[in-house]
Amino acid sequence: MVRAILIILFSIVSSRELLSQITYDQVFVDYDSAIEYKKLKLVPIRKKGPASPGTAEVISLSAALRKGLVAVSERGTASTENVHWLRIRNNSRKSVYVASGELLAGGRQDRVISKDTILIPSGKDQYVSVMCVEESRWSKKEKKFTYQNYANPRLRKVVDQDRNQVLIWKEIFTQLDSSKIIAPTLSYVSRRVEKKLITPHDEYMRFFRQRLQKQDSSIVGFVCITGEKIIGSDIFSFVNLFYDEMDALLHGYVEEAIAYGNKPALRDEQVIKYMDKILKDENRQEQYLKKNGKIFRFQGKVIHITSYHE
């Protein structure tokens, strides 16, 4: 059975289209094409060589949900047994990439994905690891889950680095309190329906969507800057997946820039120093991201690299 699944997976994700690593040998940071709006600056990261979209056989969770290819539900009714798992059925013919930091609102309480996963196209129930992002609700009746994009880098870092429910709740409370948001169930997602934040958030999103859509098709990631610090970077192995994930990731970065940022003032030399820790060589990358990010691999090939502020 295991052998059969591995054969299926190998046929789904072509090893020729994925990278065994992502370093300066495969990508470059395009400082000349930086995009800036108010408190947020994005520097594109591009794949070297001829622009290739990569495999179309792996899609993001957001795309799969939008197209009705997957169904998300609670694992059961008991909070003590099932709060840290969600059931997802992949009804498509493609593998679905589920990333830590992605938010799903509804169910019996809101959740954040806590571990990167590839869901094979089996048509059967599969389970993903999640954490609670709504401390004061466990409903008797299950609501329909809705996709809420990525959390901001501050919360994503706690999810990835600590994997501790109490620390996640503490971070959410701190963020809600600092933004003066009253949320009866202490839901992280409540900040996304806060009226005073919706208008500026939408302005940022429109600007970056338009600018990034006008770029050529070699982008596989970006590094994000606000004030005098880097708030994070995300890099993918192939172009299609980046564009699948781009909008969802932007929501989190925009949210952090609005809440905690300032006009970008970091020099390129400082950004280069930061990116060298990630892209200069594989060994240094591995050591650095153990404390400041993550690397998700599938069958020995890199799918996604994430880094956070130091």
Q: Could you write out the DSSP letters of every residue in 75-94?
A: S-S-HHHHTTEEEEEE-SSS
64, two tokens:
């799969």
Model pLDDT for residues 71-86, shown as the tens digit of each residue: 999 998 877 778 999 9
* Terminal alpha carbon distance of the chain: 43
Model pLDDT for residues 61-74, shown as the tens digit of each residue: 999 999 999 999 99
- DSSP lists the bridge partners of residue 187 as 134
pLDDT in the model for residue 6: 39
When pLDDT is averaged across residues 194-221 and rounded to a whole number, the result is: 91
**Is the dihedral angle over the CA atoms 171, 173, 178, 180 positive or is it negative?**
positive
Model pLDDT for residues 247-296, shown as the tens digit of each residue: 999 999 999 999 999 999 999 999 999 999 999 999 999 999 999 999 99
Q: What percent of the chain has pLDDT over 70?
A: 92
Higher-confidence residue of 215 and 95: namely 95
User: DSSP 3-state assignment of 289?
Assistant: helix
When pLDDT is averaged across residues 191-214 and rounded to a whole number, the result is: 92
